[in-house]
Structure 1
Protein backbone atom coordinates (compact mmCIF):
# COMPACT_ATOMS: atom_id res chain seq x y z
CA UNK A 1 0.00 0.00 0.00
CA UNK A 2 2.79 2.41 0.91
CA UNK A 3 4.54 1.65 -2.37
CA UNK A 4 1.30 2.33 -4.30
CA UNK A 5 0.78 5.66 -2.54
CA UNK A 6 4.37 6.70 -3.21
CA UNK A 7 4.02 5.90 -6.91
CA UNK A 8 0.67 7.70 -7.08
CA UNK A 9 2.14 10.76 -5.37
CA UNK A 10 5.07 10.84 -7.81
CA UNK A 11 2.66 10.54 -10.74
CA UNK A 12 0.47 13.39 -9.48
CA UNK A 13 3.51 15.60 -8.88
CA UNK A 14 4.70 14.83 -12.43
CA UNK A 15 1.30 15.80 -13.88
CA UNK A 16 1.19 18.97 -11.80
CA UNK A 17 4.69 20.02 -12.87
CA UNK A 18 3.96 19.25 -16.50
CA UNK A 19 0.72 21.23 -16.49
CA UNK A 20 2.40 24.07 -14.61
CA UNK A 21 5.27 24.11 -17.13
CA UNK A 22 2.92 24.12 -20.12
CA UNK A 23 0.89 26.90 -18.53
CA UNK A 24 4.02 28.91 -17.82
CA UNK A 25 5.18 28.53 -21.43
CA UNK A 26 1.78 29.75 -22.64
CA UNK A 27 1.92 32.83 -20.40
CA UNK A 28 5.50 33.66 -21.39
CA UNK A 29 4.61 33.42 -25.08
CA UNK A 30 1.67 35.76 -24.61
CA UNK A 31 3.78 38.26 -22.69
CA UNK A 32 6.89 38.18 -24.91
CA UNK A 33 5.20 37.40 -28.22
CA UNK A 34 7.82 34.71 -28.86
CA UNK A 35 7.60 30.92 -28.86
CA UNK A 36 10.11 28.79 -26.96
CA UNK A 37 12.28 28.21 -30.04
CA UNK A 38 12.51 31.97 -30.61
CA UNK A 39 13.43 32.64 -26.99
CA UNK A 40 16.17 30.00 -27.07
CA UNK A 41 17.71 31.42 -30.24
CA UNK A 42 17.51 35.00 -28.99
CA UNK A 43 18.97 34.28 -25.55
CA UNK A 44 21.76 31.79 -26.33
CA UNK A 45 24.89 32.06 -28.42
CA UNK A 46 25.61 29.55 -31.22
CA UNK A 47 27.00 26.23 -30.09
CA UNK A 48 26.09 23.73 -27.41
CA UNK A 49 24.12 26.13 -25.21
CA UNK A 50 21.71 26.89 -28.02
CA UNK A 51 21.60 23.55 -29.82
CA UNK A 52 21.09 21.41 -26.69
CA UNK A 53 18.14 23.56 -25.65
CA UNK A 54 16.65 23.46 -29.15
CA UNK A 55 17.09 19.68 -29.20
CA UNK A 56 15.40 19.29 -25.82
CA UNK A 57 12.55 21.59 -26.84
CA UNK A 58 11.90 19.65 -30.04
CA UNK A 59 11.97 16.26 -28.32
CA UNK A 60 9.62 17.38 -25.53
CA UNK A 61 7.14 19.05 -27.85
CA UNK A 62 3.59 17.74 -28.22
CA UNK A 63 3.81 18.32 -31.98
CA UNK A 64 4.76 15.30 -34.10
CA UNK A 65 6.45 17.62 -36.59
CA UNK A 66 8.76 19.03 -33.92
CA UNK A 67 9.46 15.62 -32.37
CA UNK A 68 10.37 14.11 -35.75
CA UNK A 69 12.56 17.09 -36.70
CA UNK A 70 15.54 15.71 -34.75
CA UNK A 71 15.67 12.58 -36.93
CA UNK A 72 15.03 13.93 -40.43
CA UNK A 73 17.43 13.32 -43.31
CA UNK A 74 19.94 16.17 -43.79
CA UNK A 75 18.43 16.89 -47.22
CA UNK A 76 15.08 17.55 -45.53
CA UNK A 77 16.37 20.03 -42.94
CA UNK A 78 15.52 23.18 -44.91
CA UNK A 79 11.95 22.03 -45.62
CA UNK A 80 11.55 21.00 -41.98
CA UNK A 81 12.55 24.49 -40.84
CA UNK A 82 10.01 26.02 -43.24
CA UNK A 83 7.32 23.71 -41.83
CA UNK A 84 8.25 24.67 -38.26
CA UNK A 85 8.03 28.38 -39.12
CA UNK A 86 4.54 27.82 -40.55
CA UNK A 87 3.47 25.72 -37.55
CA UNK A 88 4.69 28.37 -35.11
CA UNK A 89 3.17 31.17 -37.23
CA UNK A 90 6.51 32.90 -37.54
CA UNK A 91 6.84 34.99 -40.68
CA UNK A 92 10.32 34.58 -42.23
CA UNK A 93 10.38 38.21 -43.44
CA UNK A 94 10.00 39.59 -39.93
CA UNK A 95 12.32 36.93 -38.41
CA UNK A 96 14.92 36.32 -41.15
CA UNK A 97 17.67 35.21 -38.79
CA UNK A 98 15.57 32.75 -36.84
CA UNK A 99 15.30 30.27 -39.71
CA UNK A 100 19.07 30.41 -40.25
CA UNK A 101 19.79 29.77 -36.58
CA UNK A 102 17.28 26.92 -36.33
CA UNK A 103 18.68 25.37 -39.48
CA UNK A 104 22.23 25.43 -38.09
CA UNK A 105 21.02 23.79 -34.85
CA UNK A 106 19.05 21.12 -36.70
CA UNK A 107 22.03 20.31 -38.93
CA UNK A 108 24.11 19.77 -35.79
CA UNK A 109 21.43 17.56 -34.22
CA UNK A 110 20.85 15.29 -37.23
CA UNK A 111 24.59 15.34 -38.00
CA UNK A 112 25.40 14.00 -34.53
CA UNK A 113 22.84 11.26 -34.96
CA UNK A 114 24.32 10.28 -38.33
CA UNK A 115 27.84 10.39 -36.90
CA UNK A 116 26.84 7.88 -34.21
CA UNK A 117 25.55 5.55 -36.95
CA UNK A 118 28.72 5.96 -39.03
CA UNK A 119 31.02 5.32 -36.07
CA UNK A 120 28.95 2.34 -34.97
CA UNK A 121 29.21 0.86 -38.49
CA UNK A 122 33.01 1.11 -38.39
CA UNK A 123 33.11 -0.37 -34.90
CA UNK A 124 31.02 -3.35 -35.98
CA UNK A 125 33.11 -4.06 -39.08
CA UNK A 126 35.77 -6.63 -38.12
CA UNK A 127 39.31 -6.44 -39.41
CA UNK A 128 39.62 -8.83 -42.37
CA UNK A 129 43.14 -9.86 -43.38
CA UNK A 130 41.69 -11.02 -46.72
CA UNK A 131 40.47 -7.51 -47.48
CA UNK A 132 43.15 -5.55 -49.42
CA UNK A 133 41.86 -2.20 -48.12
CA UNK A 134 42.17 -3.33 -44.50
CA UNK A 135 45.65 -4.69 -45.07
CA UNK A 136 46.71 -1.52 -46.88
CA UNK A 137 45.57 0.63 -43.93
CA UNK A 138 47.56 -1.57 -41.55
CA UNK A 139 50.68 -1.23 -43.70
CA UNK A 140 50.20 2.54 -43.84
CA UNK A 141 50.07 2.60 -40.05
CA UNK A 142 53.40 0.76 -39.85
CA UNK A 143 55.04 3.11 -42.38
CA UNK A 144 53.75 6.18 -40.52
CA UNK A 145 55.12 5.01 -37.17
CA UNK A 146 58.20 3.13 -38.36
CA UNK A 147 59.21 4.92 -41.59
CA UNK A 148 62.82 3.75 -41.45
CA UNK A 149 62.18 0.13 -40.44
CA UNK A 150 60.87 -2.14 -43.19
CA UNK A 151 58.42 -4.77 -42.00
CA UNK A 152 59.97 -8.22 -42.44
CA UNK A 153 56.61 -9.96 -42.78
CA UNK A 154 52.87 -9.59 -42.31
CA UNK A 155 53.05 -11.79 -39.23
CA UNK A 156 55.96 -10.47 -37.20
CA UNK A 157 57.06 -9.64 -33.68
CA UNK A 158 57.88 -6.19 -35.05
CA UNK A 159 54.27 -5.19 -34.47
CA UNK A 160 55.06 -5.12 -30.77
CA UNK A 161 57.36 -2.17 -31.47
CA UNK A 162 54.34 0.05 -32.08
CA UNK A 163 52.36 -1.36 -29.19
CA UNK A 164 50.42 -4.37 -30.45
CA UNK A 165 50.22 -7.39 -28.18
CA UNK A 166 51.41 -10.09 -30.57
CA UNK A 167 52.64 -10.96 -34.03
CA UNK A 168 49.29 -10.34 -35.74
CA UNK A 169 47.60 -6.98 -35.02
CA UNK A 170 44.22 -8.13 -36.31
CA UNK A 171 43.51 -9.87 -32.98
CA UNK A 172 43.77 -6.53 -31.15
CA UNK A 173 41.06 -4.93 -33.29
CA UNK A 174 38.33 -7.32 -32.15
CA UNK A 175 36.83 -4.93 -29.60
CA UNK A 176 36.65 -1.77 -31.72
CA UNK A 177 36.79 -3.26 -35.21
CA UNK A 178 37.96 -0.99 -38.02
CA UNK A 179 37.24 2.08 -35.90
CA UNK A 180 40.39 1.46 -33.88
CA UNK A 181 42.52 1.18 -37.00
CA UNK A 182 40.95 4.26 -38.59
CA UNK A 183 41.69 6.35 -35.50
CA UNK A 184 45.27 5.14 -35.09
CA UNK A 185 46.02 5.78 -38.76
CA UNK A 186 44.41 9.24 -38.67
CA UNK A 187 46.44 10.21 -35.60
CA UNK A 188 49.68 8.84 -37.07
CA UNK A 189 49.23 10.67 -40.38
CA UNK A 190 47.59 13.95 -39.37
CA UNK A 191 49.44 14.57 -36.11
CA UNK A 192 52.56 12.62 -36.98
CA UNK A 193 55.08 14.47 -34.81
CA UNK A 194 52.96 14.00 -31.69
CA UNK A 195 52.22 10.36 -32.50
CA UNK A 196 55.91 9.57 -33.01
CA UNK A 197 56.85 11.34 -29.78
CA UNK A 198 54.18 9.45 -27.85
CA UNK A 199 55.33 6.16 -29.35
CA UNK A 200 58.93 6.97 -28.43
CA UNK A 201 57.95 7.89 -24.86
CA UNK A 202 55.79 4.80 -24.44
CA UNK A 203 58.74 2.54 -25.21
CA UNK A 204 60.95 3.97 -22.48
CA UNK A 205 61.91 1.66 -19.63
CA UNK A 206 61.13 2.35 -16.01
CA UNK A 207 63.53 4.37 -13.89
CA UNK A 208 64.38 1.33 -11.83
CA UNK A 209 66.01 -0.23 -14.89
CA UNK A 210 68.20 2.78 -15.61
CA UNK A 211 70.93 4.55 -13.69
CA UNK A 212 70.24 8.06 -12.50
CA UNK A 213 72.87 9.40 -14.91
CA UNK A 214 71.19 7.66 -17.87
CA UNK A 215 67.82 8.97 -16.79
CA UNK A 216 69.03 12.57 -16.54
CA UNK A 217 70.88 12.25 -19.84
CA UNK A 218 67.68 11.20 -21.60
CA UNK A 219 65.83 14.04 -19.84
CA UNK A 220 62.72 12.01 -19.01
CA UNK A 221 60.61 13.64 -16.36
CA UNK A 222 58.74 10.44 -15.62
CA UNK A 223 58.60 6.86 -16.77
CA UNK A 224 55.95 5.98 -19.36
CA UNK A 225 55.78 2.28 -20.18
CA UNK A 226 52.55 1.51 -22.05
CA UNK A 227 51.63 -0.10 -25.39
CA UNK A 228 50.93 2.68 -27.89
CA UNK A 229 48.56 0.80 -30.24
CA UNK A 230 46.66 -0.90 -27.44
CA UNK A 231 46.22 2.42 -25.65
CA UNK A 232 44.98 3.91 -28.95
CA UNK A 233 42.32 1.20 -29.21
CA UNK A 234 41.34 1.77 -25.56
CA UNK A 235 41.05 5.52 -26.11
CA UNK A 236 38.96 4.76 -29.20
CA UNK A 237 36.62 2.85 -26.90
CA UNK A 238 36.53 5.83 -24.53
CA UNK A 239 35.75 8.27 -27.36
CA UNK A 240 33.08 5.90 -28.65
CA UNK A 241 31.39 5.68 -25.23
CA UNK A 242 31.39 9.48 -24.95
CA UNK A 243 29.80 9.73 -28.38
CA UNK A 244 27.01 7.17 -27.97
CA UNK A 245 26.14 8.38 -24.45
CA UNK A 246 25.62 11.90 -25.80
CA UNK A 247 28.31 13.37 -23.57
CA UNK A 248 30.29 14.46 -26.63
CA UNK A 249 27.43 16.67 -27.84
CA UNK A 250 28.77 19.57 -25.78
CA UNK A 251 32.12 19.45 -27.57
CA UNK A 252 30.87 18.68 -31.08
CA UNK A 253 28.09 21.26 -31.00
CA UNK A 254 30.74 23.83 -30.06
CA UNK A 255 33.29 22.90 -32.75
CA UNK A 256 31.14 21.78 -35.69
CA UNK A 257 29.32 24.77 -37.21
CA UNK A 258 26.80 22.50 -38.90
CA UNK A 259 27.03 18.71 -39.21
CA UNK A 260 29.58 16.91 -37.01
CA UNK A 261 31.54 14.48 -39.16
CA UNK A 262 33.90 11.53 -38.76
CA UNK A 263 36.82 13.97 -39.02
CA UNK A 264 35.54 15.83 -35.94
CA UNK A 265 35.40 12.52 -34.09
CA UNK A 266 38.94 11.62 -35.19
CA UNK A 267 40.25 15.03 -34.15
CA UNK A 268 38.65 14.44 -30.76
CA UNK A 269 40.41 11.08 -30.58
CA UNK A 270 43.76 12.77 -31.28
CA UNK A 271 43.10 15.22 -28.45
CA UNK A 272 42.15 12.42 -26.05
CA UNK A 273 45.31 10.48 -26.94
CA UNK A 274 47.52 13.47 -26.17
CA UNK A 275 45.67 14.31 -22.97
CA UNK A 276 45.74 10.70 -21.78
CA UNK A 277 49.49 10.63 -22.39
CA UNK A 278 49.94 13.71 -20.18
CA UNK A 279 47.56 12.31 -17.60
CA UNK A 280 49.43 8.99 -17.51
CA UNK A 281 52.70 10.82 -16.93
CA UNK A 282 51.14 12.89 -14.14
CA UNK A 283 49.69 9.80 -12.45
CA UNK A 284 53.06 8.01 -12.74
CA UNK A 285 51.63 4.47 -12.27
CA UNK A 286 53.90 1.69 -11.10
CA UNK A 287 53.22 -0.44 -14.16
CA UNK A 288 50.72 -1.20 -16.91
CA UNK A 289 48.56 -3.15 -14.44
CA UNK A 290 47.27 0.23 -13.26
CA UNK A 291 46.00 1.10 -16.72
CA UNK A 292 42.30 0.58 -15.96
CA UNK A 293 42.48 2.74 -12.85
CA UNK A 294 44.18 5.57 -14.71
CA UNK A 295 41.82 5.25 -17.68
CA UNK A 296 38.71 5.38 -15.49
CA UNK A 297 40.03 8.43 -13.65
CA UNK A 298 40.80 10.11 -16.98
CA UNK A 299 37.32 9.24 -18.27
CA UNK A 300 35.70 10.90 -15.24
CA UNK A 301 37.80 14.02 -15.75
CA UNK A 302 36.72 14.33 -19.39
CA UNK A 303 33.06 13.81 -18.44
CA UNK A 304 33.38 16.58 -15.87
CA UNK A 305 34.86 18.91 -18.50
CA UNK A 306 32.01 18.16 -20.91
CA UNK A 307 29.43 19.29 -18.34
CA UNK A 308 30.59 22.82 -19.09
CA UNK A 309 28.35 23.86 -22.00
CA UNK A 310 31.05 26.17 -23.36
CA UNK A 311 33.62 23.37 -23.46
CA UNK A 312 35.47 22.57 -26.67
CA UNK A 313 37.99 19.79 -26.08
CA UNK A 314 40.02 20.59 -29.17
CA UNK A 315 38.86 23.95 -30.55
CA UNK A 316 40.28 23.72 -34.08
CA UNK A 317 37.37 25.96 -34.96
CA UNK A 318 34.27 26.95 -33.06
CA UNK A 319 30.72 27.73 -34.03
CA UNK A 320 31.01 31.29 -32.74
CA UNK A 321 34.21 31.93 -34.72
CA UNK A 322 32.48 31.00 -37.95
CA UNK A 323 29.99 33.83 -37.51
CA UNK A 324 26.82 31.79 -37.23
CA UNK A 325 23.90 34.11 -36.71
CA UNK A 326 23.54 35.08 -33.07
CA UNK A 327 20.10 36.60 -32.57
Structure 2
Protein backbone atom coordinates (compact mmCIF):
# COMPACT_ATOMS: atom_id res chain seq x y z
CA UNK A 1 0.00 0.00 0.00
CA UNK A 2 1.11 3.53 -0.68
CA UNK A 3 3.36 2.51 -3.58
CA UNK A 4 2.71 3.61 -7.15
CA UNK A 5 1.83 0.82 -9.54
CA UNK A 6 4.05 0.96 -12.63
CA UNK A 7 2.96 -0.20 -16.08
CA UNK A 8 4.36 -3.57 -17.07
CA UNK A 9 4.88 -4.81 -20.62
CA UNK A 10 3.64 -8.23 -21.63
CA UNK A 11 5.27 -10.04 -24.50
CA UNK A 12 3.43 -12.00 -27.20
CA UNK A 13 3.13 -15.01 -24.87
CA UNK A 14 1.71 -12.89 -22.06
CA UNK A 15 4.68 -12.98 -19.68
CA UNK A 16 6.22 -10.12 -17.71
CA UNK A 17 8.98 -8.42 -19.64
CA UNK A 18 10.15 -4.99 -18.50
CA UNK A 19 8.88 -1.79 -17.00
CA UNK A 20 8.42 1.19 -19.31
CA UNK A 21 8.64 4.74 -18.02
CA UNK A 22 9.25 6.65 -21.27
CA UNK A 23 7.26 9.76 -22.13
CA UNK A 24 6.63 11.78 -25.27
CA UNK A 25 9.68 13.90 -24.41
CA UNK A 26 12.11 11.01 -23.91
CA UNK A 27 10.86 9.50 -27.18
CA UNK A 28 11.33 12.87 -28.90
CA UNK A 29 14.90 12.97 -27.57
CA UNK A 30 15.59 9.50 -28.98
CA UNK A 31 14.14 10.54 -32.35
CA UNK A 32 16.07 13.80 -32.59
CA UNK A 33 19.28 12.04 -31.52
CA UNK A 34 18.75 9.50 -34.30
CA UNK A 35 17.58 11.89 -37.03
CA UNK A 36 19.82 14.94 -36.54
CA UNK A 37 23.10 13.34 -37.48
CA UNK A 38 25.88 13.55 -39.99
CA UNK A 39 23.50 14.40 -42.84
CA UNK A 40 22.89 17.87 -41.40
CA UNK A 41 26.46 18.90 -42.19
CA UNK A 42 26.06 18.41 -45.95
CA UNK A 43 22.72 20.23 -46.24
CA UNK A 44 24.22 23.36 -47.82
CA UNK A 45 25.70 21.28 -50.64
CA UNK A 46 22.45 19.32 -50.92
CA UNK A 47 20.33 22.44 -51.35
CA UNK A 48 22.92 23.77 -53.81
CA UNK A 49 22.33 20.80 -56.12
CA UNK A 50 18.55 21.30 -56.10
CA UNK A 51 18.37 25.10 -56.05
CA UNK A 52 16.11 27.57 -54.31
CA UNK A 53 13.02 26.40 -56.21
CA UNK A 54 13.20 22.69 -55.34
CA UNK A 55 15.59 22.32 -52.38
CA UNK A 56 13.35 23.61 -49.54
CA UNK A 57 10.29 21.88 -51.03
CA UNK A 58 12.12 18.54 -51.09
CA UNK A 59 13.13 18.97 -47.44
CA UNK A 60 9.50 19.62 -46.49
CA UNK A 61 8.28 16.76 -48.69
CA UNK A 62 10.62 14.20 -47.12
CA UNK A 63 9.56 15.41 -43.68
CA UNK A 64 5.86 14.86 -44.48
CA UNK A 65 6.50 11.42 -46.00
CA UNK A 66 8.62 10.38 -43.01
CA UNK A 67 5.94 11.50 -40.55
CA UNK A 68 3.20 9.66 -42.46
CA UNK A 69 5.15 6.40 -42.62
CA UNK A 70 6.08 6.80 -38.94
CA UNK A 71 2.41 6.95 -37.95
CA UNK A 72 1.75 3.77 -39.93
CA UNK A 73 4.65 1.98 -38.26
CA UNK A 74 3.60 3.24 -34.80
CA UNK A 75 0.29 1.40 -35.27
CA UNK A 76 2.23 -1.84 -35.79
CA UNK A 77 3.67 -1.88 -32.27
CA UNK A 78 0.74 -4.03 -31.14
CA UNK A 79 -1.00 -6.79 -33.06
CA UNK A 80 -3.74 -7.24 -34.14
CA UNK A 81 -5.20 -4.14 -32.45
CA UNK A 82 -2.91 -1.07 -32.21
CA UNK A 83 -4.13 -0.33 -28.65
CA UNK A 84 -4.97 -3.64 -26.99
CA UNK A 85 -3.05 -6.20 -29.06
CA UNK A 86 0.09 -8.14 -28.16
CA UNK A 87 3.34 -6.17 -28.07
CA UNK A 88 5.94 -6.36 -30.82
CA UNK A 89 9.21 -5.60 -29.07
CA UNK A 90 11.24 -5.09 -32.25
CA UNK A 91 10.77 -4.01 -35.84
CA UNK A 92 11.24 -7.55 -37.09
CA UNK A 93 8.47 -8.80 -34.75
CA UNK A 94 6.05 -6.36 -36.36
CA UNK A 95 7.11 -7.58 -39.81
CA UNK A 96 6.46 -11.17 -38.77
CA UNK A 97 2.98 -10.37 -37.45
CA UNK A 98 1.76 -8.09 -40.23
CA UNK A 99 3.57 -9.36 -43.33
CA UNK A 100 4.20 -13.00 -42.49
CA UNK A 101 7.34 -15.04 -41.99
CA UNK A 102 8.28 -14.93 -45.67
CA UNK A 103 8.94 -11.18 -45.40
CA UNK A 104 11.17 -11.45 -42.32
CA UNK A 105 14.37 -12.20 -44.22
CA UNK A 106 13.90 -9.43 -46.78
CA UNK A 107 12.86 -6.75 -44.27
CA UNK A 108 15.50 -7.89 -41.78
CA UNK A 109 18.23 -7.53 -44.39
CA UNK A 110 16.91 -4.07 -45.30
CA UNK A 111 16.90 -3.02 -41.64
CA UNK A 112 20.42 -4.22 -40.95
CA UNK A 113 21.77 -2.79 -44.20
CA UNK A 114 20.28 0.56 -43.17
CA UNK A 115 21.82 0.31 -39.71
CA UNK A 116 25.15 -0.72 -41.22
CA UNK A 117 25.09 2.22 -43.62
CA UNK A 118 24.25 4.59 -40.77
CA UNK A 119 27.14 3.22 -38.72
CA UNK A 120 29.54 3.71 -41.64
CA UNK A 121 28.34 7.29 -42.10
CA UNK A 122 28.63 8.05 -38.38
CA UNK A 123 32.12 6.51 -38.18
CA UNK A 124 33.41 8.51 -41.15
CA UNK A 125 31.82 11.75 -39.94
CA UNK A 126 33.04 11.38 -36.34
CA UNK A 127 36.58 10.57 -37.45
CA UNK A 128 36.45 13.52 -39.87
CA UNK A 129 35.52 15.80 -36.96
CA UNK A 130 38.43 14.40 -34.91
CA UNK A 131 40.73 15.17 -37.83
CA UNK A 132 39.19 18.64 -38.16
CA UNK A 133 40.07 19.52 -34.56
CA UNK A 134 43.72 18.70 -35.22
CA UNK A 135 43.70 20.37 -38.65
CA UNK A 136 42.13 23.62 -37.48
CA UNK A 137 44.63 23.95 -34.65
CA UNK A 138 47.47 23.18 -37.06
CA UNK A 139 46.22 25.82 -39.51
CA UNK A 140 45.96 28.33 -36.69
CA UNK A 141 49.55 27.68 -35.53
CA UNK A 142 51.00 27.69 -39.04
CA UNK A 143 49.29 30.88 -40.16
CA UNK A 144 46.80 28.96 -42.32
CA UNK A 145 49.41 27.24 -44.45
CA UNK A 146 47.91 24.00 -45.75
CA UNK A 147 51.20 22.07 -45.98
CA UNK A 148 51.76 19.68 -43.09
CA UNK A 149 48.21 19.91 -41.76
CA UNK A 150 46.77 16.82 -43.47
CA UNK A 151 45.96 13.92 -41.13
CA UNK A 152 45.08 10.28 -41.78
CA UNK A 153 41.66 9.20 -40.57
CA UNK A 154 42.30 5.48 -40.03
CA UNK A 155 43.43 5.84 -36.42
CA UNK A 156 40.46 8.01 -35.53
CA UNK A 157 38.04 5.51 -37.07
CA UNK A 158 39.51 2.83 -34.81
CA UNK A 159 39.18 5.16 -31.81
CA UNK A 160 35.52 5.81 -32.62
CA UNK A 161 34.92 2.07 -33.07
CA UNK A 162 36.39 1.38 -29.63
CA UNK A 163 34.16 4.06 -28.16
CA UNK A 164 31.15 2.33 -29.69
CA UNK A 165 32.22 -1.03 -28.27
CA UNK A 166 32.34 0.51 -24.80
CA UNK A 167 28.98 2.27 -25.19
CA UNK A 168 27.38 -0.92 -26.49
CA UNK A 169 27.87 -2.40 -23.01
CA UNK A 170 25.38 0.08 -21.54
CA UNK A 171 21.93 -1.28 -20.62
CA UNK A 172 19.00 -1.17 -23.02
CA UNK A 173 17.39 1.92 -24.55
CA UNK A 174 14.90 2.01 -21.64
CA UNK A 175 17.66 2.98 -19.22
CA UNK A 176 19.77 5.42 -21.22
CA UNK A 177 17.41 8.24 -22.14
CA UNK A 178 20.07 10.50 -20.59
CA UNK A 179 22.43 9.56 -23.42
CA UNK A 180 19.92 10.74 -26.02
CA UNK A 181 19.41 13.97 -24.08
CA UNK A 182 23.18 14.58 -24.16
CA UNK A 183 23.27 13.76 -27.87
CA UNK A 184 20.40 16.15 -28.61
CA UNK A 185 22.02 18.95 -26.57
CA UNK A 186 25.33 18.59 -28.43
CA UNK A 187 23.60 18.30 -31.82
CA UNK A 188 21.77 21.58 -31.19
CA UNK A 189 25.02 23.21 -30.09
CA UNK A 190 27.01 22.36 -33.22
CA UNK A 191 23.97 23.12 -35.40
CA UNK A 192 23.70 26.61 -33.88
CA UNK A 193 27.45 27.13 -34.30
CA UNK A 194 27.23 26.08 -37.93
CA UNK A 195 24.20 28.32 -38.42
CA UNK A 196 26.02 31.26 -36.85
CA UNK A 197 29.14 30.77 -38.98
CA UNK A 198 27.11 30.55 -42.20
CA UNK A 199 25.01 33.57 -41.22
CA UNK A 200 28.20 35.56 -40.53
CA UNK A 201 29.61 34.62 -43.94
CA UNK A 202 26.32 35.56 -45.56
CA UNK A 203 26.34 38.93 -43.78
CA UNK A 204 29.96 39.52 -44.82
CA UNK A 205 29.12 39.62 -48.53
CA UNK A 206 25.56 40.89 -48.06
CA UNK A 207 23.81 39.13 -50.94
CA UNK A 208 21.81 35.92 -51.28
CA UNK A 209 23.85 33.57 -53.43
CA UNK A 210 22.63 30.60 -55.42
CA UNK A 211 20.14 30.14 -58.23
CA UNK A 212 16.64 28.75 -58.65
CA UNK A 213 17.93 25.72 -60.57
CA UNK A 214 20.94 25.01 -58.35
CA UNK A 215 24.54 24.30 -59.26
CA UNK A 216 25.18 24.42 -62.99
CA UNK A 217 27.20 21.45 -64.28
CA UNK A 218 28.22 21.06 -67.92
CA UNK A 219 27.70 17.29 -68.16
CA UNK A 220 24.03 16.26 -67.74
CA UNK A 221 25.18 12.92 -66.37
CA UNK A 222 27.10 14.60 -63.54
CA UNK A 223 24.17 16.90 -62.78
CA UNK A 224 21.78 13.95 -62.59
CA UNK A 225 24.16 12.05 -60.32
CA UNK A 226 24.55 15.03 -57.96
CA UNK A 227 20.77 15.56 -57.81
CA UNK A 228 20.22 11.89 -56.96
CA UNK A 229 22.99 12.07 -54.36
CA UNK A 230 21.34 15.15 -52.86
CA UNK A 231 18.01 13.34 -52.63
CA UNK A 232 19.78 10.41 -50.99
CA UNK A 233 21.38 12.77 -48.45
CA UNK A 234 17.97 14.16 -47.51
CA UNK A 235 16.40 10.70 -47.26
CA UNK A 236 19.29 9.55 -45.06
CA UNK A 237 18.94 12.67 -42.90
CA UNK A 238 15.33 11.83 -42.00
CA UNK A 239 15.41 8.08 -41.48
CA UNK A 240 14.70 6.54 -38.09
CA UNK A 241 12.21 3.82 -39.03
CA UNK A 242 14.75 1.08 -38.32
CA UNK A 243 14.55 1.94 -34.60
CA UNK A 244 11.04 3.39 -34.26
CA UNK A 245 9.54 0.24 -32.73
CA UNK A 246 12.39 0.00 -30.22
CA UNK A 247 11.85 3.65 -29.22
CA UNK A 248 8.11 3.04 -28.88
CA UNK A 249 8.85 0.06 -26.64
CA UNK A 250 10.20 2.48 -24.00
CA UNK A 251 6.86 4.31 -23.62
CA UNK A 252 4.57 3.88 -20.65
CA UNK A 253 0.82 3.55 -21.05
CA UNK A 254 -1.80 4.93 -20.75
CA UNK A 255 -2.10 6.80 -23.06
CA UNK A 256 -1.75 4.22 -25.80
CA UNK A 257 1.80 3.87 -27.04
CA UNK A 258 0.89 4.57 -30.67
CA UNK A 259 -0.68 7.91 -29.74
CA UNK A 260 2.37 8.98 -27.75
CA UNK A 261 4.71 7.83 -30.51
CA UNK A 262 2.81 9.80 -33.15
CA UNK A 263 3.12 12.94 -31.02
CA UNK A 264 6.82 12.30 -30.46
CA UNK A 265 7.33 11.77 -34.20
CA UNK A 266 5.53 15.04 -34.94
CA UNK A 267 7.59 16.99 -32.41
CA UNK A 268 10.89 15.39 -33.38
CA UNK A 269 10.42 15.75 -37.13
CA UNK A 270 9.08 19.30 -36.81
CA UNK A 271 12.17 20.39 -34.87
CA UNK A 272 14.57 18.70 -37.27
CA UNK A 273 12.78 20.10 -40.33
CA UNK A 274 13.06 23.65 -38.99
CA UNK A 275 16.76 23.06 -38.34
CA UNK A 276 17.31 21.52 -41.76
CA UNK A 277 15.64 24.43 -43.53
CA UNK A 278 17.61 26.99 -41.52
CA UNK A 279 20.95 25.20 -41.98
CA UNK A 280 20.48 24.26 -45.63
CA UNK A 281 19.12 27.60 -46.79
CA UNK A 282 21.52 29.73 -44.73
CA UNK A 283 24.49 27.71 -45.97
CA UNK A 284 23.33 28.00 -49.58
CA UNK A 285 22.76 31.75 -49.23
CA UNK A 286 26.27 32.09 -47.77
CA UNK A 287 28.21 29.92 -50.26
CA UNK A 288 25.94 29.81 -53.30
CA UNK A 289 26.69 26.99 -55.73
CA UNK A 290 30.11 26.49 -54.09
CA UNK A 291 28.36 25.35 -50.92
CA UNK A 292 30.03 22.08 -50.00
CA UNK A 293 32.41 23.23 -47.28
CA UNK A 294 35.58 22.52 -49.24
CA UNK A 295 35.02 25.52 -51.53
CA UNK A 296 37.62 27.67 -49.79
CA UNK A 297 40.34 25.42 -51.23
CA UNK A 298 38.73 24.98 -54.63
CA UNK A 299 37.51 21.44 -54.00
CA UNK A 300 33.81 21.08 -54.74
CA UNK A 301 33.37 17.57 -53.30
CA UNK A 302 30.38 17.29 -50.95
CA UNK A 303 31.17 16.92 -47.30
CA UNK A 304 31.18 18.19 -43.75
CA UNK A 305 31.07 21.98 -43.71
CA UNK A 306 32.90 22.11 -40.35
CA UNK A 307 36.03 20.21 -41.41
CA UNK A 308 38.24 23.28 -41.18
CA UNK A 309 38.29 24.21 -44.85
CA UNK A 310 35.26 26.47 -45.15
CA UNK A 311 35.63 27.78 -41.59
CA UNK A 312 38.85 27.79 -39.60
CA UNK A 313 38.42 30.97 -37.54
CA UNK A 314 37.62 31.43 -34.76
CA UNK A 315 39.45 28.12 -34.43
CA UNK A 316 38.24 27.49 -30.87
CA UNK A 317 34.60 27.76 -31.96
CA UNK A 318 35.14 25.33 -34.84
CA UNK A 319 36.86 22.99 -32.34
CA UNK A 320 33.86 23.14 -29.99
CA UNK A 321 31.49 22.36 -32.87
CA UNK A 322 33.52 19.32 -33.93
CA UNK A 323 33.79 18.01 -30.36
CA UNK A 324 30.00 18.31 -30.11
CA UNK A 325 29.68 16.33 -33.35
CA UNK A 326 31.86 13.56 -31.91
CA UNK A 327 29.85 13.42 -28.66
CA UNK A 328 26.53 13.45 -30.53
CA UNK A 329 27.47 10.69 -32.97
CA UNK A 330 28.93 8.60 -30.15
CA UNK A 331 25.56 8.65 -28.40
CA UNK A 332 23.38 8.55 -31.50
Of the two, which has the highest radius of gyration?
Answer: 1
Structure with larger RCO (C-alpha < 8 A, sep 6+):
2
**Pairwise same-fold verdict (TM > 0.5):** no
- Into which bin does the TM-score normalised by the smaller protein fall? under 0.3
